[in-house]
Amino acid sequence: MENVVAIDGPGGAGKSTIARLLAQKLNYLHLDTGAMYRAVTLAALRKKIDFNKQDKLIELAKNTDINFNQNGDIFLNGENISEEIRTAAVNKHVSQTAAVKGVREVLVKKQQLLAQNNKVVMDGRDITTVVLPEAEHKFFLTASLEERARRRYQEVKSKNKDITLEKIKKSIARRDKMDSEREHSPLKKADDAILVDTTNLTIEEVLDRMIAIIKGES
Binding residues for ATP: 9-17
Q: How far is the CB of 70 from ligand C5P (least distance, A)?
A: 20
Main-chain phi, psi angles of 74, to 5 degrees:
-115, 140
CB of 218 to ligand C5P, least distance (A): 26
Q: What is the DSSP letter of 138?
A: E
- C-alpha 149/C-alpha 169 separation (Å) is 5
Nearer to ligand C5P among residue 49 and residue 98 (C-beta) = 98
The piece of 33-41, 64-72, 160-168, 198-206 that touches ligand C5P (CB under 6 A) is 33-41
Residue from 49, 94, 103, 132 touching ligand C5P (CB under 6 A): that is 94
Contacts of 49 (CB under 8 A, 6+ apart): 56, 57, 60
Residue 215 DSSP code: T
The alpha carbon dihedral of 19, 20, 25, 28 has a sign of positive
Binding pattern to ligand C5P, positions 45-64, x when CB under 6 A? --------------------
Q: Residue 9 or 28: which CB sits closer to ligand C5P?
A: 9
**Residue 126 binds to ligand C5P (criterion: CB under 6 A):** yes
CB neighbours (10 Å) of residue 126? 23
Which of 28, 123 has the CB closer to ligand C5P?
A: 123
| Binding of ligand C5P by 9 (CB under 6 A) | no
In 3D, which of 34, 37, 28, 39 has the Cα closest to residue 14? Answer: 34
Q: Min. distance of Cβ 55 from ligand C5P in angstroms?
A: 19
Site for ligand C5P contains 42 (CB under 6 A) = no
Residue 37 binds to ligand C5P (criterion: CB under 6 A) = yes
Q: Answer left, alpha or beta for residue 186, where phi above 0 means left and psi between -120 and 50 means alpha.
A: beta
CA distance 175 to 186: 12
List interacting residues with ligand C5P (CB under 6 A). 11, 33-34, 37-38, 94-95, 98, 124-127, 175, 179
